[in-house]
Amino acid sequence: MTGPKVEKMSNKIAAIQMVSTKDVAVNLDQAARLIAAAAMQGASLAVLPENFALIESGQIRELAEEELAEGRLSGWLSAQARKHGIWLVAGSSPALIRPDGSKIDDGRVRSRLLVVDEKGEIVASYDKRHLFDVDVGDALASYRESARFEPGGDEVVVVDSPVGRIGLSICYDLRFPGHYQRLRDLGADVLLVPAAFTKVTGEAHWEILLRARAIETQCYCVGAGQGGVHSPRRQTWGHSMIVDPWGEVLGCQDQGEGVVLAEVDLDKLKRLRAEMPVWQHRRDSWA
């Protein structure tokens, strides 16, 4: 799926790292500060992490009902985008209505990424396809996203943006290379990975996976994560980073809130793909 064509703006992209809490108002205040900082540094597109508005999934259905009734999060995102003249990618927010218009009625929600342009218009969305049902050696021990979230469908999404053609994903998708190969098949230049990796899994695999996805697809890869202690039992890895198509890390925020900024050089990307035409050499297709 692709979105509308857009005019070229700045080529700077920002990965925003947060330490979200169970208080939506506090989280939105934190996000607003970081969006403003990204815009002041010249970013034309900023990526918020997964669960930017609420890290405690026990309240997620309530927030989804509020969004359906009042448009609290989408309205806030639109206002921020217009205020700063910046594109925003909202890492994930809860949605009760499927893309086909039907309502989820089993108590769960979908984890939905929204792309908002500088005019405040929602130009694309993506529902998380791969759910984190995993046992981890941390204080929470067991994660079962499927208990509260319904997976998205098979469709992957790319959309034209001021920094090139962006391919959408959320967190656990990162472990499934076929998802990103499909995005590259659709013309992606930049892969976006808003996330909330646990400290255990992030320390082991986050940077490796981001660099691998960038190298194998010859795309920029932007990982915007949660990074800190959210509660006595919940800690995320952070290390939000931007990786170029050669696998070089252009910037990283280890822990705590912050902004990672880098330039997307599409001419460099085209040269790399011409000099090493991996997509022409491959023997398999993931389309």
Could you list the pLDDT tens digit for every one of the 287 residues in the chain? 655 555 557 799 999 999 999 999 999 999 999 999 999 999 999 999 999 999 977 899 999 999 999 999 999 999 999 999 999 999 999 999 999 999 999 999 999 999 999 999 999 999 999 999 999 988 888 899 999 999 999 999 999 999 999 999 999 999 999 999 999 999 999 999 999 999 999 999 999 999 999 999 999 999 999 999 999 889 999 999 999 999 999 999 999 999 999 999 999 999 999 999 999 999 876 54
7 found inside a domain: no
Residues forming a β-bridge with 124: 115
Q: Which residue among the candidates 118, 145, 150, 171 is catalytic per the annotation?
A: 171
For residue 202, being part of any structural domain is answered with yes
Q: Which of 12, 50, 118, 219 is catalytic?
A: 50
Q: Are residues 238 and 226 in contact, defined by beta-carbon separation less than 8 angstroms?
A: yes
Q: Provide the b/e sequence for 24-63 (b: ≥16 CB within 10 Å).
A: beebbebbeebbbbbbeeebbbbbbbbbbbbbbbeebbeb
In a domain, 214, yes or no: yes
| Active-site residue, 252 included | no
CATH code: domain of residue 203: 3.60.110.10
Asked if residue 184 belongs to a domain, the reply is yes
The total number of structural domains in the chain stands at: 1
98 within some domain: yes
Per the listing, tokens 């915007």 go with 224
Sole residue written with tokens 């320390």? 203
Residue range(s) defining the domain that contains residue 196: 12-281
In a domain, 6, yes or no: no
Task: Enter the pTM of the model.
Answer: 0.95
Q: Is residue 97 part of a domain?
A: yes
b/e burial code for range 101-140 (CB count within 10 A of at least 16 → b): eeebeeebbbbbbbbbbbebebbbbbbbbbbbeeeeeeee
Catalytic residue among 12, 67, 118, 128: 128
Answer yes or no: 221 catalytic: no
On whether residue 5 sits in a domain, the answer given is: no
